Amino acid sequence: MDCRFDVRNDRDLTMLVDFYELTMGNSYLEEGVGDQIVYFDMYFRRVPDGGGYCIMAGVDQLIDYLKDLHFTEDDIKYLRSTGQFSEKFLDYLAHFTFTCDVWAIPEGYPVFPNEPLVTVRGPAIQAQLLETMVLVTINHQTLIATKANRICRVAGKRPVMEFGSRRAQGYDGAIYGARAAVIGGCSATANTLAGMMFDIPVSGTMAHSWIQLFDSELESFRAWANAYPDQCLLLIDTYNVLKSGLPNAITVFRELKEKGHKPLGIRIDSGDITYLTKKVRKALDEAGFPEAVIVISNSLDEHIIKDVLAEGAQINSFGVGERLITARSEPVFGGVYKMVAVEKDGKIIPRIKISENEEKITNPGFKKIYRIYEKDADKAIADLICDYDESLDDSRPLTIFDPVYTWKKKTLVNYKAELLRKQIFSSGKLCYESPSVREIQKFASQQVDRQWAEVLRFENPHNYYVDLSRKVWDKKHNLLNNYSEEFSGK
C-alpha cells in the first residue's frame, strides 16, 4: 500500500533559479537560439570526507519540481518589475511548457566522481533554467545520504535513528535530510513530517524535560511506564546515570515486569559512552533485563561510533542528529551542471569546457554509463562512460583505461555490464516511477554490497575507476587538440 501523503506540492518552486538562468534565457531568445537543443550533465568531482563513493539521492524531488514547472502571473509581474526582460521573453515564460528529456542514476546507487548523475536534453532556455534546482536537490540529498551511509556502516547491525531536525539548516534541510538519511541507511527518523510525507518509520524516546517536570525522576519514569508499558524507553542521564537514572529505571522495569510487560530499554545522552554503557549493560543483565536496549545519543558521528564500539561500548542503537543532518565534517557537495553538447541539423556536436585544472575539463557529448561487474563475484569493477550510440557487448573482452594516466589499463573478460541510468522525462513527460524510500534504502544497501571492500574502506579507499570509452576519450582529446592548436599561435 502506498501511504505517502501528498503534502509536498503545496508550494511553487519554479522561481528557485539563479537569476542568470533567466537573463541568459532572455538573451537566447533575442539571439534566436532559445530553442536550440542542448545537453547538460550534472556531476561531482570529489567524494566528501575522503570516502570511496557517494549514495545517489534526490531524484524524486527533482521529478516533483520538473512535473510542475510553470510561471504564474505574479512570477511574470515580478520579473517584469526587475526591468531586465523583454516582453517577448516574459510571454515565453507565461506560456512555458516543459519539453526536456532527462536521464538520472536511480536513487540508492553508489555513485562516483566525474560521471553524469543527471543529463538534461532540451531547448537551451529550458535546460539552462534547471541548473539550480538540479544542483540543490541532488547535491543536498546525495550529501546527506552519503554521510548517513558512513554512519550506518560503522554502526553495523545496530539501528541508527535520525535525530537532527532541530539543528538542520532550515525546514528543507530537516525534511529532505531525513529522507536522504533513511536512504543512506537510518532505520527511522524523529521528523514526523518526513515520516508522513515519505512513509518512512518515525520513532523517538523522551526529552529531559519529561523527567524535570516531575518532582522526582522515579515518579517521572513511573508515569512514562504507565503511558507506554510496552514501549518503555527511559532517558537516564538527567541527574546521575549510575546513582539515580539506572537504579530508578531498574525499579520501574521490575514493576512493569510484574505486570507482565517487557521494558524496552534506556537512553544515555551525556557522559563517557564506553564507561557508562558497560556499567549499565552489566546492571541491566544482573537485574534480569538482558534484552533491554541501550540507546546512545549526543553529537555522534562515524568516528565516535567507530571508537566507542572498538572500546567495547555496549550499545544497541544510536540517535544521530546534528553531525548527520548538516554533514558537519564536510557540508558542501560540489555537484556542477555543465553544457556538454548542442544539436545542429539533428547532429549532436560535443562541447567542452577547458581549464588549466585537469579535473575541471568536462567530458563532452551525450553519453551513457555502464557499470561493469566481475561476473562471478558480482562486484563492481568500473564505470565506463560511453557515447550515447555505443553499446557494450559483455560477451567480448573489453580493455578499459584511465582517462588521464592512459597507460593504466585493464582487460576484462569475465564481466557483465549494466546500464546505470534511467530516462525520467521524455519530451517533458514523466516516464519513470520512483520507488518508495523504503525500497530505495534496501536497493542502496544491496548496491553497496556489490562494491569491493577496498572501495568501502574509510581511510584511503581504492579509487574506483570511472573511465571513458575510446570513442568518448577521442572526442574529448580531439576537442582539446583543436583548441590547443587554435591558441598555440597566440
Ligand X SMILES: O=C(O)c1cccnc1
Ligand Y SMILES: O=P(O)(O)OC[C@H]1O[C@H](OP(=O)(O)OP(=O)(O)O)[C@H](O)[C@@H]1O
For position 328 contacting ligand Y by CB under 6 A, the verdict is no
Residue 457: closest CA among 84, 47, 104: 47
Answer yes or no: are the C-beta atoms of 220 and 254 closer than 8 Å: no
Answer yes or no: are the C-beta atoms of 26 and 89 closer than 8 Å: yes
Tell me the number of residues near ligand Y by CB under 6 A. 15
Taking the complex as a whole, how short is the minimal distance between the CB of residue 328 and ligand X, in angstroms? 16
For position 303 contacting ligand Y by CB under 6 A, the verdict is no
Taking the complex as a whole, how short is the minimal distance between the CB of residue 174 and ligand X, in angstroms? 11
Distances (CA, A) of 116 to 28, 211, 369, 468: 25, 51, 8, 12
The smaller minimum CB distance to ligand ATP, of residues 61 and 114, is found at: 114
For position 39 contacting ligand Y by CB under 6 A, the verdict is no
Q: Hey, which residues between 191 and 210 contact ligand Y (CB under 6 A)?
A: 207
- Please provide the DSSP assignment of 315-380 as one string: -SEEEE-HHHHTTTTS-----EEEEEEEEETTEEEE-----SSGGGS---S-EEEEEEEETTTTEE
Cα dihedral 175/303/59/27 (nearest 10): 90
For position 221 contacting ligand Y by CB under 6 A, the verdict is no
Q: Which entry of ligand Y, ligand X, ligand ATP, none binds 299, CB below 5 to 8 A by partner kind?
A: ligand Y
For position 167 contacting ligand Y by CB under 6 A, the verdict is yes
* 461 grid coordinates: 579507499
Amino acid type, 136: V
Of positions 321, 364, 403, 461, contacts ligand Y by CB under 6 A: 321
Q: Which residues contact 85 (CB under 8 A, 6 or more apart)?
A: 22, 23, 26, 79
From the list 168-176, 246-254, 313-321, 377-385, the region that binds ligand Y by CB under 6 A is 313-321
- Rounded Cα distance between 461 and 195, Å, is 34
Q: Hey, which residues between 266 and 295 contact ligand Y (CB under 6 A)?
A: 269
Residues contributing to the site for ligand ATP (CB under 6 A): 400-402, 408-410, 463, 465, 467
* β partners of residue 319: 161, 297
Residues contributing to the site for ligand X (CB under 6 A): 163, 190, 204-205, 297, 319, 321
Taking the complex as a whole, how short is the minimal distance between the CB of residue 384 and ligand ATP, in angstroms? 9
**In this chain, which residue has its C-beta nearest to ligand X?**
204
Kindly tell me the number of DSSP H helices and DSSP E strands found in the chain. 17, 21
| DSSP-H helix ranges across 119-203 | 124-129, 131-155, 170-184, 192-198
- Rounded Cα distance between 313 and 328, Å, is 24
* 426 grid coordinates: 521524455
Taking the complex as a whole, how short is the minimal distance between the CB of residue 271 and ligand Y, in angstroms? 12
Taking the complex as a whole, how short is the minimal distance between the CB of residue 267 and ligand X, in angstroms? 6
Residue 242: closest CA among 282, 211, 212, 290: 282
Residue 351: closest CA among 485, 478, 487: 478
Which contacts (CB < 8 Å, 24+ apart) does range 238-241 have?
238/208, 238/211, 238/212, 239/211, 241/268, 241/271, 241/276, 241/280
Of positions 181, 236, 300, 385, contacts ligand Y by CB under 6 A: 300
The smaller minimum CB distance to ligand ATP, of residues 189 and 469, is found at: 469
For position 299 contacting ligand Y by CB under 6 A, the verdict is yes
For position 481 contacting ligand Y by CB under 6 A, the verdict is no
Of positions 154, 320, 448, 456, contacts ligand Y by CB under 6 A: 320
Taking the complex as a whole, how short is the minimal distance between the CB of residue 251 and ligand X, in angstroms? 21
The smaller minimum CB distance to ligand X, of residues 265 and 321, is found at: 321
The smaller minimum CB distance to ligand Y, of residues 163 and 373, is found at: 163
The smaller minimum CB distance to ligand X, of residues 266 and 386, is found at: 266
Cα dihedral 418/422/427/431 (nearest 10): 130
For position 298 contacting ligand Y by CB under 6 A, the verdict is yes
Taking the complex as a whole, how short is the minimal distance between the CB of residue 146 and ligand ATP, in angstroms? 21
Taking the complex as a whole, how short is the minimal distance between the CB of residue 114 and ligand ATP, in angstroms? 11
From the list 15-23, 164-172, 356-364, 442-450, the region that binds ligand Y by CB under 6 A is 164-172
Taking the complex as a whole, how short is the minimal distance between the CB of residue 270 and ligand Y, in angstroms? 7
Considering only the C-alpha atoms of the chain, give the largest distance between any 2 of them, rounded to a whole number of Å: 91
Q: Which entry of ligand X, ligand ATP, ligand Y, none binds 410, CB below 5 to 8 A by partner kind?
A: ligand ATP
- Rounded Cα distance between 218 and 214, Å, is 9
Answer yes or no: are the C-beta atoms of 380 and 371 closer than 8 Å: yes
Taking the complex as a whole, how short is the minimal distance between the CB of residue 246 and ligand X, in angstroms? 18
Q: Binding string, 110-149, against ligand Y, x = CB under 6 A? A: ----------------------------------------
**Applying CB under 6 A, which residues contact ligand Y?**
163-164, 166-167, 207, 269, 297-300, 319-323
